[in-house]
Structure 1
């Protein structure tokens, strides 16, 4: 491992933490603005779901190819491009005059977020040794949760006072901090420098994700099932092509590692079962409970605040616990209990029950996220951390997209277009 000074490690950590803070902050702020977007552009809940799914779809499609590109061209360079893409999109989004423009800019933010996600955790894993890796990943994950915690309150206040367009401008100072701090980290990390990019593999992967996830989020439309099947078939073709090709974007042999594949599957199932909570909770609190965006944001603050507070502790514990599977497993069980409680929510459900449920989910996530990520990165050799980091992010984002797809299908089946929910 290359030697790094403490100052260089701090600069990298500050840069990655600032970037990690940006996307969840904007995502949760946008959730609190869905009601305002629906009224301004005259769209219903099913259409509003495309705001989140566009972001997730773009990030999943670009995540794996960008991870390979980072290994070849340099993770630091790709990180800078990702932050710049997010900043540029946030500068242009407030000028949107049509709903589709908001969706397009949000998708572009997803591309930038993919570049950040597949490089930041990987660089942290490369720079910090095994004894401090869980702690460092825990700090980075904490910044994600701080963004999630701040988003509902900041988004609610800005939405009530200045409107949804102001939300994008809040991101720019944090993007500037990330750019400044990464400029102080002079090392370029390119484990596959001189390698070649598999454009054929990139196209196959992107097409398979687009068709499969496009089918998921458009169920129960008649054509959606065919799209889903076609996407899964293309995914099999992609895996076969990658296993035979010398120029690959993903080393599919990683999935022979049971620890790696099991942890990735856990991440997918975890987020698939729980991500839509924030989407439904924002609409539930504002449309059914009659709360303002600010009031809803304050209540939704509970879950990420607990995650931000407890994640560093569980990150440190993951460095010293003998069986590293214990914490993620316990976290998933607690999350399952919280999700089951949310299913029982009614129009007249007391607010303390909602708060207790969100707190339960937050506790479970704090126990799951950093330990599971550390487990994935520790299960592969150093030159594979880029692929591993990208894959855990793909599983997380794919799970989120499936969660939103199930949510949108539920809305369509139960309420038709669901235009009357907003």
Structure 2
């Protein structure tokens, strides 16, 4: 029996570093998409000058990337379930890396925008499949810690982008903000190929067909909604309304299509699960609120508190730094406590932080509020992601991860438009840049009062779901 025991011991010894390297590969796959967003934002003024283009035109460098992620993330998640997640993740990393090279070498703005759309496709694959892989590579008891680590890596990418982008542009020129992804992409490809579990081969009889019609309808629907929320710079004109109506019609058509498809892109039955539907709704509401901190805070800090751009950037970096520090502890807390309890605790902290932003005066009050709001967000994210992915069947992990990411992206898009509009309306000024400091301060208070109300709604959903689960458990 000794040789058998020795073999088992060796297997366990080999598995521990493998899990660590697998997590390293997933972490890098999560960092690159968030870095791809934040590092491009800081380069927009330089790119407008380099291509002799208007700011509205160069904004499509960011929009093309975000639109590709939003419209395709569910579809690529489902494609991974069908064709093999490791294979598709490698393709996604390759697309992201090659598109980064094209962006750095692009001779015209529109070629740059096209390359960014391809980069967004690669990012969508990486974001959808990274979370789906957690259940396959990490023991169930450590799922919360893994989700917290991925949240930390996403925060690092967001926080690192502006400073790294500014340094690269100043030292090497704007192509460097895209070419920096190339060595990271190569490293990510090697780690995924080496340490993530290989796809199980499926016979032709067991292969599921891909829902092309559902994919097309969903992509067009999400494109219409995203454009309705982003074009017009906060004002809702006839084009925005037409796009929004198109999105509503498209959503109905998508439901109709999926209900009559033998192999649907998304099984509509999953939305009858109250825990899953509640998690998506909460994810959307929370992302809407977090986007308000990015959209509204710079105007408040500069125009109401009178900080210069250097100080604004420094204060704005506090939130991402707190996210980096709190992500892993939040995940470990999820492993030790009931995930639904951690969701509620995170939302309570976010509600308190939102109220604090609205009522606490000055720069000290703002920092104190962010110090409550941001850890609450990390607690919620780690616990909510763990809850959603806990009992998903292996053949649905990719698409469910895609839907989870989609709800977050829709919240970010909605928050940028709706919370920005609330801020503008409540300040009583058509041009925030020219508004009186008191008006900006008033707009900030009202905006975060609305944000607190949205978190209270999410909290009501969480507590209601928790009670329902307990009732089912007792019965």
* TM-score under structure 2 length normalisation: 0.77
Q: For the structure 1 residues 210 and 344, does the alpha-carbon distance in structure 2 shift closer, same or farther, using more than 3 Å as the test?
A: farther
Q: For the structure 1 residues 47 and 124, does the alpha-carbon distance in structure 2 shift closer, same or farther, using more than 3 Å as the test?
A: same
Match of 1:150 among 146, 160, 182: 160
* Distance across 2 between alignment mates of 1:271 and 1:321: 24
Q: For the structure 1 residues 267 and 53, does the alpha-carbon distance in structure 2 shift closer, same or farther, using more than 3 Å as the test?
A: farther
1:383 alignment counterpart: 395
* Distance across 2 between alignment mates of 1:250 and 1:390: 10
Larger radius of gyration: 2
* Distance across 1 between alignment mates of 2:328 and 2:162: 22
Paired residues of 1:84 and 1:112 also in contact (CA < 8 A): yes
2:346 alignment counterpart: 331
2:54 alignment counterpart: 43
* TM-score under structure 1 length normalisation: 0.85
Paired residues of 1:306 and 1:359 also in contact (CA < 8 A): yes
Residue deviations 1:89-116 (CA, integer Å, cap 9, x gap): 2212233455544443333322111101
1:290 alignment counterpart: 308
* Distance across 1 between alignment mates of 2:99 and 2:429: 33
Paired residues of 2:217 and 2:250 also in contact (CA < 8 A): yes
User: Are 2:251 and 1:235 aligned?
Assistant: yes
1:252 alignment counterpart: 268
* Distance across 1 between alignment mates of 2:92 and 2:312: 31
What is the SS of the residue equivalent to 1:108? helix
Shift of residue 273 of structure 1? 2.2
> How do 1:196-275 residues align onto structure 2 when only pairs under 5 Å count?
196-218=209-231, 219-275=235-291
Paired residues of 1:191 and 1:383 also in contact (CA < 8 A): no
1:62 alignment counterpart: 72
Shift of residue 117 of structure 1? 1.2
* Distance across 2 between alignment mates of 1:355 and 1:279: 16
Residue deviations 1:218-256 (CA, integer Å, cap 9, x gap): 351212212211211211221222123112111121111
Count, aligned residues: 412
Paired residues of 1:212 and 1:228 also in contact (CA < 8 A): yes
User: Are 2:101 and 1:91 aligned?
Assistant: yes
Shift of residue 357 of structure 1? 3.9
Paired residues of 1:142 and 1:311 also in contact (CA < 8 A): yes
Paired residues of 1:32 and 1:152 also in contact (CA < 8 A): yes
Worse overlay, 131-140 or 196-205: 131-140
Q: What is the CA RMSD across the aligned residues, in angstroms?
A: 3.2
* Distance across 2 between alignment mates of 1:103 and 1:281: 28
User: Are 2:425 and 1:395 aligned?
Assistant: no
Residue deviations 1:28-50 (CA, integer Å, cap 9, x gap): 22333344445655534x66654
Paired residues of 1:138 and 1:312 also in contact (CA < 8 A): yes
Q: Which has the higher contact order (CA 8 A, sep 6+)?
A: 1
* Distance across 2 between alignment mates of 1:418 and 1:104: 32
* Distance across 2 between alignment mates of 1:201 and 1:103: 26
* Distance across 2 between alignment mates of 1:402 and 1:409: 10
Unaligned runs of 5+ in 1: none
Shift of residue 11 of structure 1? 2.9
What is the SS of the residue equivalent to 1:184? helix
2:177 alignment counterpart: 167
Paired residues of 1:71 and 1:190 also in contact (CA < 8 A): no
Unaligned runs of 5+ in 2: 1-11, 436-475
Worse overlay, 282-291 or 52-61: 282-291
Paired residues of 2:296 and 2:423 also in contact (CA < 8 A): no
Paired residues of 1:152 and 1:298 also in contact (CA < 8 A): no
Shift of residue 210 of structure 1? 1.5
Shift of residue 202 of structure 1? 0.8
* Distance across 1 between alignment mates of 2:287 and 2:91: 27
Shift of residue 296 of structure 1? 4.8
* Distance across 2 between alignment mates of 1:309 and 1:85: 31
* Distance across 2 between alignment mates of 1:18 and 1:267: 23
